Amino acid sequence: MKILFSLLFVTVHILTSQDIHTEYLVVEGDTLDVFSYQIPEGYSPDDPLPLLVAFHQWGGNENSPYYTEFDDEANNRSWFFMSPYGGSSNNYNHQDAQAMVEGEILWMMDNFSIDSNRIYMVGGSMGGAAGSIYANNHLDPTLPMVAATASGSGILDCERRYWEMEGNNSMIEWFGGTPEEVPFEYHRNSAVFFEDSTQSMHYNLQHTPLYLDFGSTEAHRYHAEDLYNLLFGYNDNMWIDTIPSGGHGYSVMHENHTCDWLSQFTLVDDPDYINVNLDEPSRVYWTEAIGYNDRDEFIRLITTRYNSNWFELYEFENSDSVIFHNSIVNTDFNEILLDNHVFSRDFKIGLTGDDFNSLTSIVALGNVDDLFESLVITIDNDNSVVWIWLPDWGFVWEFIGIEMTFDFEDVSQDGVWNILDIVLTGNFILDLEEPDEYQLGAADLNDDAGIDILDIILMVNLILE
């Protein structure tokens, strides 16, 4: 969907010395949402600054968070401050609202120098879980991600809260029905679903620091306590208020303490271990699921990266293809190890990388009773993906790995003409090193069947160009 933003903005003052600017999110000519933002004093486009996104409580709007002190804390820390309306005063967490928030963050990044590694989120009551739910659903490092998020009285499990309240008209409206009618919508728009971990997205929060606060007398405080206990030892950066004050929503939060805690963290967008439930095909860190099997079930993905060309895939369900991004590098591809239970069906593994166009040959092998079988390989030049088809042979077999051969034009075979190529060529001329067949062809730039000073002169010209 192409997103266009309106040029109209309004400046207002709400119990603050800072100017509050109002902007509108416009998609294909339709105004979908309104959001407000504050520019920190002393801002310079040459200095990327953090962004604090604040979500309003039930019945509020894009200006409500300015009645807290979070806008002042942001200004004092030289952070941008932004508050979305979210399309509605009575629900934040549905998919449309999340898309609006993403579009508004992108607008901020397009118009100001935002530090993409320090986007923080905070919310109270209805907006209290918005940051963690957004984090669950946005793990693509090419788009805005959450460095850390703080919740005041957040409804972290929408289905649990629905039954606690004996119904909730707002959830029915925005999710399209009751938990019995559309359970997947409740689970994909919650930070966690406690009753069934296979239908929960809390796994996705492993690398997102969580700040959890509730009032001392709130009946649903155990949403936060249960999530904290569930993630303890899995997420190493959590804080929960063990001596809570009274109140609800933003009123239970100490703005200075919250922002001090958030400020410790920068975005984790390249972990070596990935354990996620994806609500739709999407990129998650350095992997990407392509395609559904069942749209009302999560895509399960667990994998480890040992280095740029060695992965282990433990589990991959409800999708037919997975891409390992940036896995094609100028070296022999060692192997991808797969647990045997993965092969209950056939699927594809895709490989991408900067050296895609320098591939000259690729072989993928499987081992069946000590017999090596070649796997089918296709190359998608339009999207720069090498696809390896993993078949369902009906019995246990071992995936051996992939071998790649590269052909670069330069002598050192690193894809760049530089001083190293001149040094190597000089060594070849002085018989200090013996070139291999690729280096021999690359060093003979004038094609006279020999390597001499004329080739070095041509190299210098290439480097200078």
Distance CA 368, CA 341 (A): 15
How many Cβ atoms sit within 10 Å of the Cβ of residue 382?
6
| Averaged pLDDT, 22-27 | 94
Q: What is the DSSP string of 44-85?
A: -TTS-EEEEEEE--TT--TTGGGGSSHHHHHHHTT-EEEEE-
CB neighbour burial string for 108-130, b if at least 16 within 10 angstroms, e if fewer: bbeebebbbebbbbbbbbbbbbb
Number of H helices, E strands in the chain: 11, 23
| Residue 181 phi, psi (nearest 5) | -85, -40
For the four alpha carbons of 91, 92, 95 and 96, in that order, the dihedral sign comes to positive
Distance between terminal CA atoms of the chain? 41
Pairing relation of β-strands 49-55 and 80-84? Answer: parallel
Beta bridge partners of 56: none
CB within 8 Å of 88: residues ≥ 6 apart: 97, 174
The pLDDT value given to residue 306: 86
How far apart, in whole angstroms, are the C-alpha atoms of residue 26 and residue 106? 13
Please report, for residues 107, 120, 151, the alpha-carbon distance to residue 237 in angstroms, rounded to integers and kept in the order given.
Answer: 29, 14, 14
What pLDDT score was predicted for residue 407? Answer: 59
Helix pair angle (453-464, 419-429), 10° resolution: 180
Q: How far apart are CA 383 and CA 421, in angstroms?
A: 31
DSSP, collapsed to helix, strand or coil, labels residue 238 as strand
Taking Cα atoms as reference points, which of 8, 32, 43 lies closest to residue 22? 8
Cβ atoms 147, 267 nearer than 8 A: yes
Per-residue pLDDT band at 336 (split at 50, 70, 90):
low
Please give the DSSP secondary-structure letter assigned to residue 378. E
| Count of Cβ atoms closer than 10 Å to residue 241 Cβ | 19
Closest CA to 350 of 387, 401, 399, 311: 387
CA angle 58, 62, 68 (to 5 degrees): 75
Mean pLDDT value of segment 35-46: 95
Angstrom distance (rounded) from CA 131 to CA 108: 17
Q: State what percent of residues in the chain have pLDDT above 70.
A: 86
pLDDT single digits (tens) 381-429: 888 898 988 777 666 566 666 766 665 677 777 667 888 888 888 888 8
The half-sphere exposure of 385 on its side-chain side, counting CA atoms within 13 A, is 17
The SS3 of residue 306 is: strand
Residue with tokens 């009302």: 296
DSSP 174: H
Q: How far apart are CA 221 and CA 243, in angstroms?
A: 12
pLDDT at 193: 98
Structure tokens that stand for 267 in this block: 């975005």
Q: pLDDT tens digit string along 345-380?
A: 678 888 888 777 667 667 777 766 666 777 788 888
Architecture of domain 4-262: 3-Layer(aba) Sandwich (3.40)
Which is more confidently placed, 436 or 241? 241
Which string of DSSP letters, residue by residue, matches 212-247? Answer: EE--TT-GGGHHHHHHHHHHBTTBS-EEE-SS--S-
Q: Are strands 210-213 and 238-240 parallel, antiparallel or unpaired?
A: parallel
Give residue-wise pLDDT tens across range 208-234: 999 999 999 998 899 999 999 999 999
Residue 71 clears pLDDT 80, i.e. is over it:
yes
d(CA 9, CA 90): 24
| φ/ψ (deg, to 5) at 222 | -70, -5
Cβ–Cβ under 8 Å, residues 63 and 36:
yes
Averaged pLDDT for residues 60-79: 97
CB 71 within 8 A of CB 38: yes
Share of the chain above pLDDT 90, in %: 59
d(CA 131, CA 98): 10
So what's the pLDDT on residue 395? 61
Decide: 404 and 362 in contact? Cβ < 8 Å.
yes
DSSP for 240-300, please give it. Answer: E-SS--S--GGGG--HHHHHHHHTT-------SEEEEEESSS-EETTEEEE--S-TTSPEE
Which of 27-36, 273-282, 424-433 is the least confident region?
A: 424-433
Q: Specify the residue for token string 């929503």.
A: 249
* Res 93: pLDDT: 84
